[in-house]
Amino acid sequence: MESVSEQITEKDIASYVYDRYKNVFSKELLERYTRDYIGFTSAKFIYKNKLSTFLCKNHKILDIGCGAGSLVLYLHKKGYEAYGIEINEFEYKIAKQRFDQLYQDKKSIYAHGSALELPYPDNSFDIVTFFDVLEHIENYELALKEAKRILKANGKIFIIAPNYCAFRQEAHYHVPWIPFFPRKLAVTYLKLLGKDPWFYNECVFHLTNYKIIRILRKLDLTISSPVQEKIKENYQFNLKWFSNLLSFAKKFHLISLVNFVIKMILYNPFKKSLDLVAIKDRNG
């Protein structure tokens, strides 16, 4: 374990976040980023709303682009065998330090490395996640190929990412954005708004719902919606109207129609965000 003198302090983390994102995020978003992503707000939300339905205690989970490691640490505390990999050295050190402080006698669950060359054997994970990460990987096709390689048969890849073929707020700068914004023009636009375009230039790549679905098909992965998968698992939805709709559909044998509508939403090329599951078939 690192010596006390080498420990990363809360002040170090605050300085890192400010220096890295000061002309990207607003002051409010800087504070929210620290609270939600270095804290556990986002991890708790993702576990409850995206993963808990699909996890078993014997599952092995990898969070790619784990950042400061909050989701992985939260899953570990819940009793799951969870791991994380992060390419940013400072964020990897934060994640490792947090784990080492809690579990001094255990081998670290974090790795410092790239999504393009995962240091794990074939067929070794049940769940792989890309939560707001894939748009930061230039060769996202190779990243998905690597994720499939380490995935066990019937394993699932969870993807959440902004769709750059949509009219929406840009996911990082939180300014109005248009589909297929030419990069050079987008840089000028950000400068005119008083934003520093370095993060956009270096860390943001224009993935779209259409592109990702096409890549997943090319990799022979079955594409599904988290909602469809929850229906299969007989998940009890909190939305009363949706639960009533499912009950009605099942009673009158209309569940295939519900699934068709969900699939149309999943494949919509202009939806604001990607939120999908890719499944590795037994023979995949």
Query: Would 149 be classed as within a structural domain?
Result: yes
Does the residue 179 lie in any domain?
Answer: no
In a domain, 172, yes or no: no
- Interhelix angle 209-218/140-150, nearest 10 degrees: 40
Is the residue at 145 inside a domain? Answer: yes
- CATH at residue 141: 3.40.50.150
User: Would you state the structure tokens that stand for residue 3, as one six-digit string?
Assistant: 């010596």
Mapping DSSP onto H, E and C, the string for the chain reads CCCHHHCCCHHHHHHHHHHHHCCCCCHHHHHHHHHHHHCCHHHHHHHHHHHHHHCCCCCEEEEECCCCCHHHHHHHHCCCEEEEEECCHHHHHHHHHHHHHHCCCCCCCEEECCCCCCCCCCCCEEEEEEECCHHHCCCHHHHHHHHHHHEEEEEEEEEEEECCCCCEECCCCCCEECCCCCHHHHHHHHHHCCCCCHHHHHHCCCCCHHHHHHHHHHCCEEEECHHHHHHHCCCCCCCHHHHHHHHHHHHCCCHHHHHHHHHHHHHCCCCCEEEEEEEECCCC
CA distance 128 to 156: 6
Within-domain flag for 258: no
pLDDT of residue 28: 84
Instruction: Confirm whether 64 is domain-assigned.
Output: yes
Let me know if residue 71 belongs to a domain: yes
Q: How far is CA 199 from the centre of its chain?
A: 18
**Residue 117, domain extent:** 39-163+207-237+268-280
**pLDDT tens-place values along the chain, 284 residues long:** 343 347 899 889 889 998 988 889 888 888 888 888 888 999 999 999 999 999 999 999 999 999 999 999 999 999 999 999 999 999 999 999 999 999 887 888 999 999 999 999 999 999 999 999 999 999 999 999 999 999 999 999 999 999 999 999 999 999 999 999 999 999 999 999 999 999 999 999 999 999 999 999 999 999 999 999 999 888 888 889 999 999 999 899 999 999 899 999 999 999 999 999 999 987 66
Neighbours of 164 (CB within 10 A): 21
In a domain, 46, yes or no: yes
CA distance 150 to 148: 6
| Dist. CA 276–CA 223, nearest whole Å | 7
Total tally of structural domains belonging to the chain: 1
- Please tell me the pTM assigned to this model: 0.92
143-160 pLDDT per residue, tens: 999 999 999 999 999 999
